[in-house]
Amino acid sequence: MRKRISIGILLLAFVLIGAPSFSTFAPAIAQSTAKQSKPPAQDLIDINSATADQLKSLPGIGDAYAQKIIAGCPYTRKDQLAQKRIIPQATYNKIAPMIIAKQSK
**What are the tens digits of pLDDT across the range 38-83?**
556 568 999 999 999 999 999 999 999 999 999 999 999 999 999 9
Mean of per-residue pLDDT scores for the chain = 81
Helix (H) or strand (E) holding 96, with range, is none
CA distance 70 to 87: 12
**What are the tens digits of pLDDT across the range 4-20?**
666 767 666 666 666 55
Query: Rounded mean pLDDT of 31-36?
Result: 51
pLDDT of res. 18:
63
Of the candidates 73, 56, 54, the residue with the CA atom closest to the CA atom of residue 64:
56
pLDDT of res. 37:
54
CATH topology of domain 41-100: DNA polymerase; domain 1 (1.10.150)
Could you please report the per-residue DSSP string of 44-94?
Answer: SEETTT--HHHHHTSTT--HHHHHHHHHT---SSTTHHHHTTSS-HHHHHH
pLDDT of res. 7:
72
Domain ranges of the chain: 2-36, 41-100
Q: What is the pTM of this model?
A: 0.60
